[in-house]
Structure 1
């Protein structure tokens, strides 16, 4: 089994309605107990039966308290440092009740709706964040090997694959709301950027 994940990640302002229609998201709550120098220990809860709008008032611990019994899957995950879209990851499924207790008792949390969409030849995950990370949207394309010659949809504004501040563990500790203005100003000044080391980027519709 390959214990590495391969992905490219992109900053977005919106997920087009065509990808939301008839495509209910998966609700994800994650808590990070170690997130230092890109080493991570994470507990994750997921549900496809909870439909919530992600905004600045959607707090993960409140949601967990209100919908505790609606979570269907839970995992413990360890990750190593990322480099050029490649990262060690090992995951194990655990009891949702244990995961809920762990998340309630500690760690830095993230909440998001995850939409799974198919674009060109790739499956994508598009994460719409809530709480102190709202209104951040990150799209990621993942494969079983390096993500090369990728068709990048036009709603992806710039690539953030190798920007650690956009990793989920960094967002748990230093939420997007703290530095969103700085990033938007940087994007406006420098313009979009896409990695050139992954073969040929094809800009989609």
Structure 2
């Protein structure tokens, strides 16, 4: 079984931008709402994947990902999604022994910026950069699936 181990944090300022070494645009949509798993189609630049993740909040959960043809992904995003797609630009930032992923959301989720760090073990130590704010790993609202159905721009409403 594939397992994802990650921590999510809000980003407190733009200091990370000076250290970003790559970026890529993402568009992802969800093929089902509530259930035991989230099923999404994602376009990353010119690549496309179908992804299935256990629908649970926390640092560790099952995850499966399969490459699919880009034309199929575009068609799925246009016709099969049960909520508007989530759009974001992901930046990669090296810090200490790890590479952080910083997601800058667009559309209805702007101006949300979230940093994630993926680990190989649940008990692995890592160093937080100064630009990382509060941890939100256990706050369901910050998960992409939740952002598709309840965008950040609607949180104050």
TM over 0.5: yes
Aligned equivalent of 1:74, options 40, 48, 53: 48
1:93 aligns to 2:67 (yes or no): yes
1:127 aligns to 2:97 (yes or no): no
Q: Distance in 2 between matches of 1:147 and 1:35?
A: 31
Larger Rg: 1
Residue ranges of structure 1 left out of the alignment (5+ in a row): 48-71, 183-205
Q: Name the structure 2 match of 1:27.
A: 25
Deviations, residues 116-166 of structure 1 (Å, cap 9, x unaligned)? 111111111100000000000000000222153221112111000011110
Q: How large is the RMSD of aligned CA atoms in angstroms? A: 1.7
Q: CA deviation at 1:177?
A: 0.7
Q: CA deviation at 1:25?
A: 1.2
Structure with more of its chain in helix, by fraction = 1
Give me the TM-score of the superposition, normalised by structure 1. Answer: 0.70
Residue ranges of structure 2 left out of the alignment (5+ in a row): none
Q: Distance in 1 between matches of 2:140 and 2:35?
A: 10
Q: CA deviation at 1:19?
A: 2.1
> Aligned residues, how many?
154
Give me the TM-score of the superposition, normalised by structure 2. Answer: 0.90
Conserved? CA contact 2:57–2:139, under 8 Å: no
